Amino acid sequence: MSDYFRDRRVVVTGGAGFLGRFVTEGLRRRGCRGIEIPLVEQYDLVKAADIVRMYETMQPDVVIHLAAVVGGIGANRERPAEFFYQNLMMGVQLIEQARLYGVEKFVAIGTVCAYPKFTEVPFKEEDLWAGYPEETNAPYGLAKKMLLVQSQAYRRQYGFNSVFLLPVNLYGPGDNFDPATSHVIPALIKKCVDALDVGRDHIVCWGTGEASREFIYAADAAEGILLATEHYNGVEPVNIGAGSEVRIKDLAHKIAELTGFAGEIRWDASKPDGQPRRCLDVSKAKAQFGFEAKTPLDVGLKETVDWYKATRRAGPV
């Protein structure tokens, strides 16, 4: 760790959210005394006036932009316009007003959904423009991808230091377990635990189970983001991932075993699989700012399952 954050004021949009809590915790460990979190109740970051007011009030040196409208395949299919508009307008206006305000550095968080549907595995940053994203999450992926275009354009014309990171699918304690908007790991955990609660002998999962995904423990992703904020000032995007993939079918069996669900896992092939494979080349993050994910998938899954079970006993999630 360096002293980079010690005397800088850092705004973390989405700082009260799942990934944001790990990022702000990491900032505190680094001795940052000026952490600012714009809460949704006070600032609508889709509106330029609220963004201006936020910058004037919080006076950041650095902005880490995590806030996003996100969800799984179902939510992306049902709300494509909302996912495109809100994510695009938040990011574009935050970067523009940061430039006008004189922010020292802007860290834009993209998404693995920005990659083309059919990308050679492992995904290299140079392949980002080699095709169109998978259809169900293209509006979200493209909205985020435009922040890379903006970051590079602003660097060329204005000398504005905006960097762009591409994290893979996140998971961990504190994840979103709402079935309407959750991603695959919390969705599978909830299905298994709910089935145990009511004595159901099977669960039904979307797709064929043959697609693969890469997952990174949220605390590891936060560390990667903070290392990049400290040490990376390049123009090119950088992947943040674990560097390995797992079939969704195998993931479901891992989660069933960890939760204690011994029933049948059925697959509804009428529902989409999404992108066929996802696995990132993570060599650039290691080379540029020394980041490597530390948490094995089996360890992270157990901690997530244990957290969810404990939280359910304490009260509703």
Known catalytic residues?
140
Nearest residue to 165 via CA among 100, 253, 254, 227: 227
Residues 6 or more apart in contact with residue 314 via CB below 8 angstroms: none
Q: Are 45 and 90 in contact, with CB atoms under 8 Å apart?
A: yes
Q: Are 168 and 215 in contact, with CB atoms under 8 Å apart?
A: yes
Classify residue 155 as exposed, middle or buried by CB count within 10 Å of its CB (0-12, 13-18, 19+).
middle
Residues 6 or more apart in contact with residue 182 via CB below 8 angstroms: 71, 72, 175, 176, 190
Write out the two tokens for 288: 């540029």
Secondary structure class of 133 (helix, strand, coil): strand
Q: Which helix (H) or strand (E) holds 57?
A: helix 48-58
**Side chain identity at residue 62, one-letter code:** V
Nearest residue to 238 via CA among 123, 66, 130: 123
What does the angle CA 50 – CA 55 – CA 57 come to, to the nearest 5 degrees? 90
Q: Return d(Cα 273, Cα 279) in angstroms, integer.
A: 15
Write out the two tokens for 51: 């963004």
DSSP state at residue 116: B
Q: Return d(Cα 23, Cα 11) in angstroms, integer.
A: 11
Secondary structure class of 84 (helix, strand, coil): helix
Cα-based distances in Å from 132 to 113, 190, 296: 10, 32, 31
